[in-house]
Amino acid sequence: MDAVVRFRAAVCLLGRFPALAGVDLDVAAGEIVLLQGPNGAGKTTLLRACAGLVPVTEGQAGVLGVDLVADRRPVRPLVGLLGHSTGLYDDLTVVENVRFWSRAGRSQRADADAALARLGLDGRLASVPVARLSAGQRRRTALAVLVARRPRLWLLDEPHAALDQDGRDLVDGLMVDAVAAGATVLFASHELDRAEAVAHRSVTVAGGTVNGLLAGAGQEVPVA
Amino acid sequence: MPDLAADSMLRGSMLRDAAMVVGKDLRLEWRSRVTLSQILPFALLVLILFAFALDPDRRILEEATPGLFWLAVLFSMLLAIQRAYAVETADGVIDALRLSDLDPAGIFLGKAAGIGLHLLVLEVVLFVGVTVLYGATPHGGLLVVATMLLATTGLAAAGSLYGVLAAGLRVRDTLLPILMLPVVAPVLIAGTEAFSAAYANASGDGWKWCGLLAAFSVLYLAIGIFAFEPLLEES
């Protein structure tokens, strides 16, 4: 299988601090890979590096065929990142936010409307300004933006956070659907029971280092 | 021919993205009313305070009207720029902008257009304000309009550029005036001189200052189109 993510001895510096100090990671097309590890281990930085938001200063790093060391910008329109923040405009409504960002990602209005329906945001909530939403509803709206953009690589940082039981089930379903549609998912979570149930395999991030190579290329870490 | 077609597509994409961004910014203003409810009253307050300071000598107030008008515009501009970029730095929006397919030059033009439209509204209200409060009446209407349009374009372009430069900094609110005010000093000088000519019924003298304003605008529009992407990267 083609590697969607391929990191070798990758180093990321945040200022002078090595947030990633040697990452070896392969993620094959169609995989759902869980990143686990303690707070401050480097999971968020790894996801941001995959999105081309953090520079890889040493080693090799490729995502969807883009060499992140040479130029990380071309990968950005190809990936979707759900981070700790939502990336939404407080004074725009749910539907306005989803339509704006999906249009900014060159998606069609129909994609935005379908995403709103998929996330259960096409009713009363659609016309509510984001500032008036609960944390979980904001999270759903951010997920709707992600779904509407239909990225080839989903990068999710604690995607279950702030969501109720239905929302968490919905996130798991979205990941499975994304992979069925040809995408790949890399996500970080502390909710291991739920996350391991949906992931194909898990990789541990510790002290800014990762050893997550596919079988045949090094050590594989199977899901328990 | 393929190069021409590519250039045309690039321009189309840039202008379409600019229209998207300015449309979004106007919608944000319509919802939040920050310009109407906060920046506009601030601008009028500045005019009134100038009047309190100089009122005993009405002649000085009338003579100083062009300079006081543009000073009030510059102070209000700082608030408009801070507001324009506050919405882009809240809750990870700047990352979403970087991850989007929007042309950075289009984002720059859209932000500049949004700031410019807000400034134009402010200038019209301030113009009515100085006419009513200071009793100053210009004679060269065309020169006044041209000066406002050119100065606004330059201020909006420079403001959009320096706004994104300061956006990623924790001290952006205090740093922006220090960065911006020296840069826009030529606009203050040229705007004041052009308005002075209009108020003195000597429009001919004012048009050369419009040339300076036009050059300033073109310069900052060009810098912004090419430099916005690396600045967005660093913010």
Q: Per-residue pLDDT tens for B197-234?
A: 998 888 788 899 999 999 999 999 999 999 999 999 88
Q: Would you tell me which residues 10-39 of chain A have a C-beta closer than 8 angstroms to some C-beta of chain B?
A: none
pLDDT band at B3 (very low <50, low <70, confident <90, very high): low
Residue A43, pLDDT above cutoff 90: yes
ipTM exceeding cut-off 0.85 for this assembly: yes
From A49-53, A108-112, B11-15, the region with the lowest mean pLDDT: B11-15
Residues in chain A: 224
Tell me the average pLDDT across B155-161: 96
Q: Rounded to whole angstroms, how far apart are CA atoms B94 and B110?
A: 15
Q: What is the pLDDT of residue B6?
A: 60
Q: Rounded to whole angstroms, how far apart are CA atoms A50 and A152?
A: 12
By Cβ distance, the residue of B24, B92, B98 closest to A86 is B92
pLDDT band at B135 (very low <50, low <70, confident <90, very high): confident
Determine which of A78, A91, A153 to mutate to test the interface with B (most B C-beta atoms within 10 Å): A91
Q: What is the pLDDT of residue B9?
A: 63
Question: How many CA atoms does the CB half-sphere of A53 hold within 13 Å?
Answer: 24
The C-alpha of A87 sits at a distance from chain B's nearest C-alpha, in angstroms, of 4
Bridge partners of A206?
Answer: A209
Task: Tell me the count of A-B CB pairs closer than 8 A.
Answer: 65
Q: Rounded to whole angstroms, how far apart are CA atoms A207 and B156?
A: 45
Residue A1, pLDDT above cutoff 90: no
Question: What is the percentage of chain A residues whose pLDDT exceeds 70?
Answer: 94
Cα angle, residue A81 at apex, residues A75 and A86 outer, rounded to 5°: 140
Residue B4, pLDDT above cutoff 70: no
Residues of B in contact with A76 (CB under 8 A): 98-100
Phi then psi dihedrals of residue A189, to 5 deg: -155, 150
Q: What is the pLDDT of residue A220?
A: 44
Phi then psi dihedrals of residue A148, to 5 deg: -65, -35
Q: What is the pLDDT of residue A16?
A: 85
Residue A180, pLDDT above cutoff 80: yes
Q: How far does chain A reach from its first CA to its final CA, in angstroms?
A: 22
Residues of A in contact with B32 (CB under 8 A): 91
Cα angle, residue A82 at apex, residues A201 and A194 outer, rounded to 5°: 40
Q: Rounded to whole angstroms, how far apart are CA atoms A126 and A148?
A: 15
Q: What is the pLDDT of residue A127?
A: 95
Residues of B in contact with A86 (CB under 8 A): 91-92
By Cβ distance, the residue of B31, B99, B100 closest to A129 is B31
From A93-107, A143-157, B168-182, the region with the lowest mean pLDDT: B168-182
The C-alpha of A217 sits at a distance from chain B's nearest C-alpha, in angstroms, of 31
Q: What is the pLDDT of residue B7?
A: 62
A188 close to B (CB below 8 A): no
Tell me the average pLDDT across A81-109: 95
Tell me the average pLDDT across A30-51: 94
Residue type, A94: V
* Interface touch A76/B95, C-beta < 8 Å: no
